[in-house]
Amino acid sequence: MTDPLKSRVVRHSPSTGAGSPDVWGIYEPDTGSIQYICADPKTRQAALIDVAWNFDHKNYRFSTESMDQVLDIVRDNDLTVQWVLDTHPHADHVMASAHLKERTGAPNAIGQKVHDIARLWEGIYNLPGVFDPDRDFDHLFAEGETFRIGDLEARVMLSPGHTLGSITYVCGDAAFVHDTLMHPDAGTSRSDFPGGKTSELWNSIQEILSLPGNTRLNVGHDYGTKERKEPMWEATVDEHKAHNIHVKDGTEREAFIERRQTRDKTLALPNRILAALQINLRGGRLPPAEDDGNHYLKLPVNRFD
C-alpha cells in the first residue's frame, strides 16, 4: 500500500459562496510542504502560493516536478496565474518563484521585511550586499496592504515568529498562514531560526485566530502524527481554537512559550536550510554561474549547534 505521507496528494477546497476563493492544496512529500492555488471562481484568475522547486539535498540537483504539477492543475481548471506569492524565505524547501514568473509571466511577491531577513543572512553567509529583494521580487507587500486576485480582495498580515518577516495572505474565507500553525493535532511551527521569536509567534497566532471562525486556515507543512498517517493542512479558526494542541482556547501565553522553546531545543536544522536560504533570498535563483559555467553555494561551517 502506498504511504500517503510519501505521495503527492492534491485536495480541492471549493468556494463557499460570494467572495470566497477556490483553493487547491498540493502536498510535496520530500519536505512535507503544502503548495497552494487560490483562485477567483468567477474570473478564473489565480495566485500560486509557496510553490517548491524540488531540491535533492544529497546530490545537490534540482528538478521541477512540483511546479509542473501545480501548473498542470492550473491548466486543467482553466485558470490564469495572476500572482506568484511566497509567505517568507523558506528554510526547508527552495522556492519556485523565479521559475514560475518566467513560465507564467505573472509578477512575484513576498513580504517587505524580507529586506531585514536578507541583511541577517548576509552576515551568516559573510556575503555582504549579495541579496537584493528589490531586484529579485516584483513587489514587496507591506503590513495591511491589499491586492486583488481576480475580483476577490486579498490582504496581507505581518505574522513574525517563525521568521522576522513572515506574512499571511487572507482572501475571503481562506487564509494562508505558512509556518505559524500546523494542523490542530500537530500544534504549531518552530521559532528558533535566526530572527525567529517565540513570543512573536504567539502574537501572530492570536491575530490569525481572531479571524472569523469559519475562515479556512491553510498551513505550510504537515508531517503526520503517530496516530494520523495521511497529510492534512486545512482547518477552520474555530477548529484550531477548539482542538489545536498548542494554542486551543484556555492556553496561557507563558505555557505556550515554554512548550514551544522546549520542543525547538530538540530539533536539528532542516537538511536544506543552508542551501535553500541562499537561493530563496535571491527569489529562487541560483547564484550567478562562475567561469566554468557552474553555480556554487557558500555554506557556513560551525555556525550552528
Per-residue pLDDT tens over the stretch 173-221: 999 999 999 999 999 999 999 999 999 999 999 999 999 999 999 999 9
Rounded to whole angstroms, the Cα distance separating 228 from 94 reads: 27
- pLDDT cut 70: percent of the chain above it: 99
Q: What is the pTM of this model?
A: 0.97
Question: Comparing C-alpha atoms, which of 192, 212, 169 is closest to residue 262?
Answer: 192
> Pseudo-torsion of CA 131, 134, 136, 139, nearest 10°?
140
| Residue 10 grid cell | 492534491
Statement: residue 238 has pLDDT above 80: yes
Range of the domain at 57: 4-273
157: CATH: 3.60.15.10
pLDDT at 55 over 70: yes
Q: The cell 536560504 sits on which residue? A: 277
Residue 119 has pLDDT above 70, yes or no: yes
Q: How many CA atoms lie within 13 A of 199 on its CB side?
A: 1
Once rounded to an integer, what is the mean pLDDT over residues 11-40?
A: 98
Asked if residue 299 is part of any domain, the answer here is: no
Pairing of strands 216-219, 174-178: parallel
pLDDT of residue 29: 96
| Residue 250 exposed, middle or buried by CB count within 10 Å (0-12, 13-18, 19+) | exposed
Q: What is the mean pLDDT of residues 81-107?
A: 98
d(CA 93, CA 270): 9
Residue 295, in any domain of the structure: no
Taking residues 125-139, report their average pLDDT: 97
The mean of the pLDDT values for the chain is 97
In this structure, how many other beta carbons lie within 10 angstroms of the beta carbon of residue 263? 15
Residue 305: pLDDT band (50, 70, 90) is: confident
pLDDT reported for residue 3: 83
CA distances from 277 to 160, 182, 287, 293 (A): 17, 22, 12, 22
Taking residues 40-66, what's their average pLDDT?
A: 97
Host H or E run for residue 70: helix 65-76
Given this model, what pLDDT does residue 1 score? 56
Mean pLDDT of 101-125: 98
pLDDT band at 51 (very low <50, low <70, confident <90, very high): very high
Residue whose grid cell is 530539533: 267
First to last CA, the chain: 38
The answer to whether position 285 is within a domain reads: no
Strand, helix or coil for residue 240: helix
> What is the number of helices (H) and of strands (E) in the chain?
8, 16
On whether residue 78 sits in a domain, the answer given is yes
- Is 80 exceeded by the pLDDT of residue 2? no
Checking phi first, is residue 67 left (phi over 0); if not, alpha (psi -120 to 50) or beta? alpha
Taking CA atoms, 61 is separated from 100, 110, 158, 294, in Å, by 18, 25, 33, 12
Q: Is residue 171 part of a domain?
A: yes
Task: Name the domain count of the chain.
Answer: 1
Q: CA-to-CA distance for 238 and 42, rounded, in angstroms?
A: 28
Res 83 pLDDT > 60: yes
Phi, psi of 208 (to 5 degrees): -60, -40
Examine residue 10 and state whether it is found in any structural domain, yes or no: yes
Q: What is the pLDDT of residue 205?
A: 98
Among 12, 14, 77, smallest CA distance to 45 is for 77
Indicate whether 293 belongs to any domain.
no
pLDDT band at residue 4 under the 50/70/90 scheme: confident
What is the C-alpha to C-alpha distance for residues 240 and 249, in angstroms, rounded to an integer?
A: 9
Q: Is residue 157 part of a domain?
A: yes
